[in-house]
């Protein structure tokens, strides 16, 4: 018998009639507990076999889903057979009310045109040019923490990182538009994401889109606010009479290659909202999880701080200084292995897909459960353990590229990957030398699926000045870092 509250594992393909009836009865009995689990966190409804087997097929309400955790099969799916895939209806139901048909939710030629339009914004040279703005946003957070209580205080670190990364997005994507406010924007994002589990569950139940559910009214109000705020940002830019060279400027100047028509107003809103919301949410989560994991491993934290002390310059004055943080980068990559901000890649087949000896027919769901892939018993030694050494160059080079997918894979790999990694390094290099963060509760928060991977109940930590980093920009903390490293040794 499957564990209570998880999807039932079944054989691939269509079962004989008698077996199908038996499966249907078993599903009906288990349905209430599975729904409760899904509404709490979808990843908790995955059967344990997903963490130990390369391919697992489950059945829910008569619909089959194949979970793919073999790197070779993932490449075959996401790269070689990408044209046979389309967006998963339940994720569209969760995201499209807010994000419309933007680059995250569109398919086909419409997606390709939007992707091409935004790509120049994320070239390595453009990302490097954003480093000073990233450093200023992080420095503002550092000053805010110091000024609020020089002796230290308890803070919701996820909310703090949302504010910091939102400031970065505003500075780089919309040239510092002062009217976009992080507080109401973040509250609207929380309200919207908080009810997406209901939208996913109702789509799986084949309920019409108009069916109300807990949080639906707050979600609809959040959509009106978010899309209205972004539309007002676009209008303010138009009123200047000059589009600018940031992401919003690129979107305003984009033209359809066949008709020469600009993006529609709705499509402008779709894409700018996608980049603003997804861009700051996922990066903030990576940072918040990193602070919490480092608190569990003070010896790793001290090594990171010592590396930062050796930089000799802060990222604002020397954008290339982030290249001097190879160990910090390993730490960040390992945290994103354990807590990938985007924990699930979902697709639906529009043509049959072959995965080794298994053929997934058209019209079925095929998922890459990134959270499970990163903790898979066949791919990782001690998969639950935190070990930044996994991403040392020689070990990383020996690993299959498709065993680690915090940014997805194939044509739809995250366009902002380089931006996110650089931003995380800049923020960490600004805050960690100045502050020591310690959890208020000893227990690690549970990971909760809310489209992204959030810490259940938030992430409150005590923020206190690090010894020896009382003044300056935090990069004069070398003496304190060396003392800490010696103590840890």
What pLDDT sits at residue 2? 40
Return d(Cα 62, Cα 313) in angstroms, integer.
Answer: 59
- Inter-residue contact 266 to 251 (CB < 8 Å): no
- Inter-residue contact 84 to 350 (CB < 8 Å): yes
- Inter-residue contact 1 to 48 (CB < 8 Å): no
User: What is the SS3 assignment for 179-205?
Assistant: CCCHHHHHHHHHHHHHCHHHHHHHHHC
Both tokens of 279, joined, read 């861009």
- Inter-residue contact 275 to 176 (CB < 8 Å): no
Identify the DSSP state of 224. Answer: H
Return d(Cα 384, Cα 381) in angstroms, integer.
Answer: 9
Return the H-helix or E-strand segment holding 221: helix 216-240
- Determine if the pTM surpasses 0.85: yes
H-assigned helices in 339-466: 370-373, 393-397, 417-431
Return d(Cα 94, Cα 389) in angstroms, integer.
Answer: 37
Return d(Cα 251, Cα 248) in angstroms, integer.
Answer: 5
Q: How many helices (H) and strands (E) does the chain have?
A: 18, 13
How many C-alpha atoms does 337 have within 13 Å on its Cβ side? Answer: 27
H-assigned helices in 297-401: 298-309, 326-338, 370-373, 393-397
Return d(Cα 100, Cα 180) in angstroms, integer.
Answer: 20
Return d(Cα 15, Cα 17) in angstroms, integer.
Answer: 6
Concatenating the DSSP letter of every residue in 71-90 gives HHHHHIIIIITGGGEEE-HH
Return d(Cα 328, Cα 424) in angstroms, integer.
Answer: 10
What pLDDT sits at residue 127? 93
DSSP three-state, residue 466: coil
The CA-atom distances, in angstroms, between 358 and each of 14, 66, 284 are 12, 10, 38
Return d(Cα 285, Cα 165) in angstroms, integer.
Answer: 10
CA angle 213, 64, 40 (to 5 degrees): 35
| β-bridge mates for residue 284, sequence order | none
Return d(Cα 233, Cα 392) in angstroms, integer.
Answer: 43
The CA-atom distances, in angstroms, between 366 and each of 30, 277, 303, 352, 358 are 22, 26, 41, 11, 12
Burial classification of residue 290, based on how many CB atoms lie within 10 Å of its CB (0-12 exposed, 13-18 middle, 19 or more buried): buried
Altogether, the residues listed in the chain come to a count of 489
What pLDDT sits at residue 21? 67
> Residue-wise pLDDT tens for the chain (489 aa)?
344 589 999 887 666 666 666 677 777 777 899 999 999 999 999 999 999 999 999 999 889 999 999 999 999 999 999 999 999 999 999 999 999 999 999 999 889 988 988 888 899 999 999 999 999 999 999 999 999 888 789 999 999 999 999 999 999 899 878 899 889 999 999 999 999 999 999 999 999 999 999 999 999 999 999 999 999 999 999 998 888 888 899 899 988 877 888 889 999 999 999 999 988 999 999 999 999 999 999 999 999 999 999 998 889 999 999 999 999 999 999 999 999 999 999 999 999 999 999 999 999 999 999 999 999 999 999 999 999 999 999 999 999 999 999 999 999 999 999 999 999 999 999 999 999 999 999 999 999 999 999 999 999 999 999 975 444 444 443 333 333 333 333
Pairing, β 452-455 against β 447-450:
antiparallel
Neighbours of 437 (CB within 10 A): 24
- Inter-residue contact 339 to 453 (CB < 8 Å): yes
């Amino acid at each position: 018998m499957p564990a209570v509250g998880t999807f039932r594992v079944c054989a691939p393909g269509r079962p004989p009639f008698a077996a199908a009836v038996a499966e249907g009865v078993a599903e009906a009995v288990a349905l209430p507990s599975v729904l409760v689990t899904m509404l709490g966190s979808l990843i908790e409804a995955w059967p344990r076999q997903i963490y130990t087997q390369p391919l697992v097929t489950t059945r829910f309400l008569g619909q089959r889903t194949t979970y793919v955790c073999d790197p070779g099969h993932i490449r075959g799916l996401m790269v070689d057979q990408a044209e046979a895939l389309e967006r998963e209806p339940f994720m569209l139901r969760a995201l499209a009310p807010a994000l419309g048909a933007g680059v995250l939710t569109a398919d086909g030629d419409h997606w390709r045109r939007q992707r091409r339009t935004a790509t120049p914004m994320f070239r390595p040279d453009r990302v490097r040019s954003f480093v000073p703005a990233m450093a200023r946003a992080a420095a503002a957070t550092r000053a805010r923490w110091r000024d609020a209580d020089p002796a230290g205080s308890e803070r919701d670190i996820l909310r703090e990182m949302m504010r910091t990364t939102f400031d970065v997005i505003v500075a780089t994507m919309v040239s510092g538009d002062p009217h976009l406010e992080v507080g109401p924007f973040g509250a609207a994002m929380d309200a919207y994401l908080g009810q997406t589990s209901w939208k996913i569950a109702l789509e799986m139940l084949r309920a019409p889109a108009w069916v109300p559910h807990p949080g639906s009214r707050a979600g609809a109000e959040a959509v009106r606010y978010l899309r209205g705020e972004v539309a007002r940002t676009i209008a303010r830019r138009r009123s200047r009479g000059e589009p600018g060279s940031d992401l919003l400027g690129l979107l305003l100047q984009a033209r359809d290659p066949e008709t020469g028509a600009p993006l529609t107003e709705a499509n402008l809103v779709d894409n700018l909202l996608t980049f603003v919301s997804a861009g700051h949410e996922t990066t903030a989560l990576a940072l918040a999880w990193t602070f919490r994991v480092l608190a569990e491993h003070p010896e790793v934290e001290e090594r990171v701080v010592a590396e930062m002390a050796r930089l000799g310059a802060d990222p604002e004055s020397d954008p290339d200084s982030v290249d001097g943080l190879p160990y910090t980068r390993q730490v960040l990559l390992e945290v994103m292995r354990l807590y990938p901000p985007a924990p699930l890649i979902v697709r639906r087949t529009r043509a049959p897909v072959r995965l080794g000896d298994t053929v997934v027919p058209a019209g079925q769901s095929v998922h890459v459960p990134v959270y499970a892939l990163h903790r898979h018993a066949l791919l990782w030694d001690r998969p639950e353990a935190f070990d930044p050494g996994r991403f040392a160059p020689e070990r990383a080079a020996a690993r299959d590229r498709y065993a680690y997918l915090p940014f997805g894979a194939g044509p739809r790999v995250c366009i902002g990957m380089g931006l996110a990694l650089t931003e995380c390094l800049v923020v960490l290099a600004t805050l960690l030398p100045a502050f020591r963060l310690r959890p208020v509760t000893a227990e690690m928060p549970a990971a909760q699926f809310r489209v992204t991977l959030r810490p259940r109940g938030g992430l409150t930590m005590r923020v206190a000045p690090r010894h020896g980093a009382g003044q300056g920009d935090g990069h004069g903390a070398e003496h304190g870092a060396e003392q800490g490293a010696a103590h840890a040794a």
